[in-house]
Amino acid sequence: MAVLVAFEIIPANAVRDLVFLGELGLDGSVRPVRGVLPVARRLMQLEPRPVLVLPEGNVAEAGLVRGLRCSAPASVGELLDWLRAGELPSASRATAPHSETDAADFAEVIGQDSAKRALEIAAAGGHNALLIGPPGAGKTMLARRLPSILPALTEEELLEVTAIHSVAGLLNGSAGRATRPFRAPHHSVSTAGLVGGGSVPRPGEASLAHHGVLFLDELLEFPRPTLEALRQPLEDGRVTIARASAAVCYPARFTLIGAMNPCPCGFAGDRTRTCLCAESEITRYRSRLSGPLLDRIDLHLTLAPVPLRAMGSQGAAESSTTVRERVERARARQRERSGDSTVNARASSRALLRHLASDARNLLDSASESLALSARAYHKVAKVARTIADLDGADGVAAPHVAEALRYRPQLVTADPLRDRLRSDALP
């Protein structure tokens, strides 16, 4: 369009307050491009507000930005006719984000009540979780049902998620999905594929899971440097990719769910099958997950296989809809307390510690010394306890909430009276 104005084929006034975005084909057609939604959101901040001229294949995503006028010519020739006539028709915005109905439901999971409870806490507070158990214990099945209990995306969250998927080129002419993303990369993924990168930086799986779930199955099969690259996004909620020409920052606020076997053969601690691994092999296997990364995971849960005789049980289990209602109520309490959509996992530790009752704080202080908790783990226990209290509808955090949160810390091998008391069924 700049060339056409320079050669005076069209007057400069004809393109005033217009922004052109698209790819030009050799036949004059206007073809879709990546990253239209971030541009459309930026245009809404300009005064006077311009008209966005873009390909038809990008109208759906640009239409998510309310109040922005768009026009979508099929070719440069058609656009020239419109400009000469002085009439630029508005593009239709009939397409809306679609909601994918997932048939997976918590009611289909037999047993594993403690794991369901842990995932409910993870969904309510945005906490990271690690599921440890032998093959067939249901780790993957449980993790893939986590999206069914997550609350719906807010309008701002929907725009952020769709913008990232637009930059990654995953929309394919649609307006994106209205459901929270669930990303489950294979353990052969590269570091750039997981956190983003490339000569021309693209968002990785961590950013594509923004406001959703990043599920890493067979966690210890991922290369250790690849897993270590998650430490920054888990802490900061963003990924920064530095290149010689520029630095790019992508948002990456996701809930990490990891699943792993307890040992190379998978049967350590299984009462029905014998583990064939030497102690040194188990130690070497578990060392693939570093202490700093392990410390960033809020909920650690060991799963045992469900007895085969229980597989035919027809007992009524809670559906995902019932669990999601509790999760939504807990998140509503968090919004009311913080004034925004910040979940407990990313809330200020100092603010949450004020809600601890004296007996709860005493228990947490005693446990931090006895269980050798780091400062990060100390605050994570407090945040998990706050989420448990939100699920219970409590204003303050009591000792039973802290006790349950402490049960989700990594289990120690050495004997300890306090640890045994925390695991006791007699403790509320």
pLDDT at 402: 95
pLDDT tens, position by position, 319-345: 999 999 999 999 999 999 888 878 999
Q: Report the distance separating Cα 198 and Cα 95, nearest Å.
A: 32
Q: With cut-offs at 50, 70 and 90, classify the pLDDT of residue 100.
A: low
Has residue 336 been placed in a domain?
no
- pLDDT higher than 90, residue 111: no
- Label residue 79 by pLDDT band (50, 70, 90): very high
Predicted confidence band of residue 414 (pLDDT cuts 50, 70, 90): very low
Helix axes 375-392, 113-125, angle to 10 degrees: 100
pLDDT of residue 381 exceeding 70: yes
Q: Left, alpha or beta for 384 (phi > 0: left; psi -120 to 50: alpha)?
A: alpha
Which of 310, 338, 357 is the endpoint of a domain? 310
Q: Is residue 187 part of a domain?
A: yes
- Rounded distance, CA 331 to CA 333, Å? 5
Any idea which residue has 């996004």 for tokens? Answer: 233
Q: Which residues pair with 70 in a beta bridge?
A: 52
Mean pLDDT for the stretch of residues 366-391: 93
Residues of the chain with pLDDT > 70: what percent? 91
Give the model confidence (pLDDT) of 345-365 as tens digits: 999 888 888 889 999 999 999
Torsional class of 324: left (φ above 0), alpha (ψ -120 to 50), beta (otherwise):
alpha
Q: What is the pLDDT of residue 101?
A: 55
Q: Which of 44, 67, 85 is the last residue of a domain?
A: 85
Containing domain of residue 63, as a range? 2-85
User: Residues 21, 69: one domain?
Assistant: yes
Q: Which amino acid is at 230?
A: L
278 and 142 in a single domain? The answer is yes
Provide mean pLDDT across the span 9-17: 91
Q: What is the pLDDT of residues 153-170, one digit of tens each?
A: 998 999 999 999 999 999
Grade residue 416 by pLDDT with cuts at 50, 70 and 90. very low
Please tell me whether residues 146 and 19 are part of one structural domain: no
CATH, residue 138? 3.40.50.300
CATH code assigned at 377: 1.10.8
d(CA 248, CA 201): 7
Identify whether residues 294 and 355 lie together within a single domain: no
Whether the per-residue pLDDT at 188 is higher than 50: the answer is yes
- Alpha carbon 176 to chain centroid, angstroms: 16
Residue 338 belongs to a domain? no
Asked whether residue 284 falls in the same domain as residue 401, the answer is no
Same domain, 277 and 369: no
Report the range out of 149-158, 172-181, 404-413 with the highest average pLDDT.
149-158
In this structure, is residue 236 part of a structural domain?
A: yes
Same domain, 119 and 81: no
Question: Is the backbone of residue 218 left (phi > 0), alpha (psi -120 to 50) or beta?
Answer: left
Q: Is residue 317 part of a domain?
A: no
Judged against a pLDDT cut of 90, whether residue 199 lies above it is answered with no
Q: Is the pLDDT of residue 415 over 50?
A: no
Give the least confident one: 97-101, 190-194, 407-411.
97-101
Q: Are residues 135 and 9 in the same domain?
A: no
322 in any annotated domain: no
pLDDT at residue 317 in the model = 78
Res 312 pLDDT > 80: no
Nearest 5°: phi and psi at 204? Answer: -95, -170
Q: Average pLDDT of 123-151?
A: 94
Task: Say if CB 74 and CB 30 are below 8 A apart.
Answer: yes
> What pairs with residue 131 in β-bridges?
259, 301
Mean pLDDT of 306-330: 82
Average pLDDT score over residue span 286-300: 92
Q: Confidence class of residue 102 from pLDDT cuts 50, 70 and 90?
A: low
Taking the C-alpha atoms of residue 13 and residue 18, their distance in angstroms, rounded to an integer, is: 10
What does the pLDDT read at residue 338?
84
* Same domain flag for 53 and 125: no
Question: Residue 146 has which token pair?
Answer: 């986590």
Q: What is the mean pLDDT of residues 396-424?
A: 69
| Per-residue pLDDT, 46 | 93
Are 119 and 109 within 8 A, CB to CB?
no
- In percent, the amount of the chain with pLDDT more than 90 equals 66
Residue 92's pLDDT band, with cuts at 50, 70 and 90, is: confident
Intra-chain end-to-end CA distance of the chain, in Å: 71
Residue 268 included in any domain: yes
Specify whether 60 is located in the same domain as 203. Answer: no
Q: What is the pLDDT of residue 314?
A: 59
Total domains, the chain: 3
pLDDT of residue 228: 95
Residue ending a domain, among 310, 335, 367, is: 310
Q: pTM (2 decimals)?
A: 0.88
pLDDT tens digits, residue range 223-256? 999 999 999 999 999 999 988 778 899 999 999 9
Let me know: does 144 contact 182? Beta carbons within 8 Å.
yes
320 inside domain:
no
Higher-scoring residue by pLDDT: 104, 252 = 252
Burial class (CB in 10 A: 0-12, 13-18, 19+), 339: exposed
Tokens encoding 20: 């052109």
| Per-residue pLDDT tens over the stretch 27-49 | 999 999 999 999 999 999 999 99
Question: Are residues 193 and 275 part of one domain?
Answer: yes
The verdict on 273 and 352 lying in the same domain is: no
